[in-house]
Amino acid sequence: TIGGRRSAIFLTRDNLIGLDPATGAIHFQRRWRARNASSVNAATPLVVGDSIFVSAQYGPGAAVLRVEGSKLADVWASDEAMSNHYATSVYHDGHLYGFHGRQEFGPSLRAVEFKAGTVKWSQDQFRAGSVTLAGDKLLMMRESGEMLRAPASPQALARPSPCPRRG
């Protein structure tokens, strides 16, 4: 629910779109398309208050857009802050945490200030994976199958510790 209006929000191959879930009527729409024809938009948009974080590789980069009726106003946009290739970022206490960069080039894990798009820290060559928020902890599953956890903190990435294997 944004501005008192329920919306179903999707990132399609070409657009970020908000629809009325009952009728399918378009509430808002913004072109969000990579320059590379063989690319995909894989990360799910995140809704925080009246704003949406959207991110993709191959050109569009990332943005926080404020929903203003049927329009989307830019809060910030950047290809350098948090360009998700496949994995969706998470939001915690005013910050985004996620993987920046293309999977085949060894993405970095980052913390980015939600309202400004400022990179607070970046752990380069962290490798690809996915991140989940559990309370105030980041759970990171690397493409190698290794599961790590660390506090969700914008000050620095604490040394991630392996999650114990069970059973």
Residue 166 is predicted with a pLDDT of 61
- Cα-based distances in Å from 60 to 31, 90, 139, 167: 10, 19, 27, 43
SS3 category, 103: helix
Work out whether strand 61-68 and strand 71-78 pair parallel, antiparallel, or are unpaired.
antiparallel
Q: Please answer whether residues 16 and 74 qualify as being in contact, where contact means their C-beta atoms are separated by less than 8 angstroms.
A: no
* 151/135 Cα distance (integer angstroms): 9
Q: What is the pLDDT along the chain (167 residues), one digit of tens a residue?
A: 998 999 999 998 889 999 999 999 999 999 988 777 666 778 899 999 999 999 987 777 899 999 999 999 999 999 899 988 888 999 999 999 999 877 777 788 999 999 999 999 998 877 888 999 999 999 998 888 888 999 999 998 877 667 766 65
The radius of gyration computed from the CA coordinates of the chain, to the nearest angstrom, equals: 16
pTM of this structure: 0.90
If we measure between CA atoms, which residue out of 29, 16, 129 comes closest to residue 62?
Answer: 16
